[in-house]
Amino acid sequence: MPYLFTSESVSEGHPDKVADQISDALLDEFLKQDPQSKVACETLVTTGLVVLSGEVKTEAYVDVQKVAREVIKRIGYTKSEYKFDSEACGVISAIHEQSADINQGVERSNPEDQGAGDQGMMFGYATNETDNYMPLALSVSHLLLQELAAIRKEGSEMTYLRPDAKSQVTIRYSDNHVPEKIDTIVISTQHDEFVEAAGESNDAKNEAEVQMVQRIKEDVENILMPRVLKQLPERIQELFNSNITYHINPTGKFVIGGPHGDTGLTGRKIIVDTYGGKGAHGGGAFSGKDSSKVDRSAAYAARHIAKNLVAAGVADQALVQVAYAIGVAKPVGLYVTTYGSTNVKDASGNTMSDGEIAEKVNRLFDMRPYAIVQRFGLQNPIFSETAAYGHMGRTPSIKQVEVGRNGHKETREFETFTWEKLDHVDKIKTEFGL
Cα separation, 141 vs 222, in Å, equals 17
CA distance 45 to 338: 40
421 is in an annotated binding site: no
- pLDDT score recorded for residue 102: 54
Q: What is the pLDDT of residue 109?
A: 58
pLDDT, one tens digit per residue, over 114-144 is 778 788 999 999 999 999 999 999 999 999 9
Q: Is 399 annotated as a binding residue?
A: no
Q: Is 16 part of any known ligand binding site?
A: yes
Cβ–Cβ under 8 Å, residues 315 and 342 = yes
- pLDDT tier, 414 (very low <50, low <70, confident <90, very high otherwise): very high
Q: Residue 66: what residue type?
A: K
Model confidence pLDDT, tens digit, residues 228-250: 999 999 999 999 988 999 999 99
Q: pLDDT, tens digit, for every residue of 255-314?
A: 999 999 999 999 999 999 999 999 999 999 999 999 999 999 999 999 999 999 999 999
Rounded percentage of the chain residues whose pLDDT exceeds 70: 96
- pLDDT given at position 107: 61
24 labeled part of a ligand binding site: no
Q: Is 293 one of the annotated binding-site residues?
A: yes
Assess whether pLDDT exceeds 60 at residue 105: no
Average pLDDT over residues 92-118: 71
| Alpha carbons 177 and 133: distance in angstroms, whole number | 15
Q: What mean pLDDT is predicted for residues 386-407?
A: 93
Q: What is the mean pLDDT of residues 373-402?
A: 96
Residue 429 is labelled as binding a ligand: no
Beta-sheet pairing, 49-57 with 90-97: parallel
Residues 6+ positions from 198 with CB-CB distance below 8 Å? 204, 207, 208
Domain range 3-9+136-258, CATH class = alpha beta
What residue spans of 160-275 are helical by DSSP H?
A: 202-219, 225-230, 234-237, 258-261, 270-273
pLDDT > 70? residue 317: yes
How far CA 65 is from CA of 62, 72, 406, in Å, comes to 9, 11, 20
Q: Which of 409, 432, 233 is nearest to 313 (CA)?
A: 432
Contact predicate 26/64, CB 8 Å: yes
Region for 393 from its dihedrals, namely left if φ exceeds 0, alpha if ψ lies in -120 to 50, beta otherwise: left
Q: Helix (H) and strand (E) counts for the chain? A: 13, 13
Bridge partners (DSSP) listed for residue 334: 322
**Does 285 show up as a binding residue in the annotation?**
yes
Q: Please determine, for residue 112, whether its predicted confidence score (pLDDT) is greater than 70.
A: no
> 393 and 135 in contact (C-beta within 8 Å)?
no
User: Is position 55 annotated in a ligand binding site?
Assistant: yes
Q: What is the pLDDT of residue 302?
A: 98
253 is in an annotated binding site: yes
For residue 40, say whether it is annotated as part of any ligand binding site.
no
Amino acid at residue number 352? M
Taking residues 208-230, report their average pLDDT.
95
What integer best gives the mean pLDDT of the chain?
93
166 is in an annotated binding site: yes
What pLDDT is attached to residue 101? 54
* In the chain, domain spans: 3-9+136-258, 120-126+293-432
Query: Is the pLDDT higher at 1 or at 2?
Result: 2
Question: Is there a shared CATH topology between the 3-9+136-258 domain and the 120-126+293-432 domain?
Answer: yes
DSSP assignment string, 294-326: HHHHHHHHHHHHHHHHHHHTSBSEEEEEEEE-B
Q: Rounded to whole angstroms, how far apart are CA atoms 94 and 346?
A: 56
pLDDT at 24 over 80: yes
> Cβ(294)–Cβ(119) under 8 Å?
no
Q: Is 20 annotated as a binding residue?
A: no
Q: Is the pLDDT of residue 1 over 60?
A: yes
Segment 336-362 mean pLDDT: 92
Task: Fill in the DSSP letter of residue 61.
Answer: -
CATH topology of domain 120-126+293-432: GMP Synthetase; Chain A, domain 3 (3.30.300)
* Side-chain half-sphere CA neighbours of 348 within 13 A: 5
pLDDT of residue 409: 87
